[in-house]
Amino acid sequence: MIDLDAAPTTVYREVAALDDEAFAALMAAQDSRDKVIDALVRHFAGRARPEQIRGVQAVIHIKLWDRPDGGYDHREIVIEHGSCTVSARPARKPRLTLKVRPEDLRAIVTGRAGPKRLALRGRLRVIGDLAFGMKLTDLFDLSA
């Protein structure tokens, strides 16, 4: 069983190693879902390439489908001053919004599936500045 009260890096590492069935079980309960999503989004933001995000000002919203009680889980990544910060309470207008299922977000941040491929398959919706969205793999190292 995963220690969801551990540091987000530890939670991410354990979540990345789960099989699909165990991951789905975590996503079915809102308490564990929030912690897992936080760990995935923080890992995503932590994979920013400093040399690539220097001078970039952008807000990315991530909306996750399939919330057990309906609706979306919503997170925000802010890129500014050469760093990324994450918020569980989006407050700024996004330049880009990614709509994705949790299992596909996990595939993106673990490097199992690229965002372009998921978008082409209809598993990732990209709303907003599409040219900026095409640069995500340049701005973030999503290979692992």
Question: Has residue 1 been placed in a domain?
Answer: no
Between 107 and 66, the more confident residue is: 107
The arithmetic mean of pLDDT across residues 24-32, rounded, is 90
Average pLDDT score, the chain: 93
- Structural domains in the chain (count): 1
Mean pLDDT, residues 107-123: 90
Residue pLDDT, tens place only, 30-57: 889 999 999 999 999 999 999 999 999 9
Domain of 118, in residue numbers: 8-139
Predicted pLDDT of residue 30: 82
Percent of the chain scoring above 90 in pLDDT: 76
The pLDDT assigned to 115 comes to 86
Instruction: Answer whether residue 121 is part of any domain.
Output: yes
**101 assigned to some structural domain:** yes
CATH classification at residue 72: 3.30.1050.10
pLDDT of res. 15: 93
**Structural domain contains residue 3:** no
Res. 144 pLDDT band, cuts 50 70 90: low
Q: Is the dihedral of CA 98, 102, 107, 110 positive or negative?
A: positive
Spatial distance between the Cα atoms of 47 and 43, rounded to a whole number of angstroms: 6
First to last CA, the chain: 22
- Alpha carbon dihedral 79, 85, 87, 90, in 10-degree steps, equals -20
β-bridge partners, 98: 62, 126
Query: Does 2 reside within a domain?
Result: no
Contacts of 95 (CB under 8 A, 6+ apart): 58, 59, 60, 128, 129, 132
Which pTM was predicted? 0.92
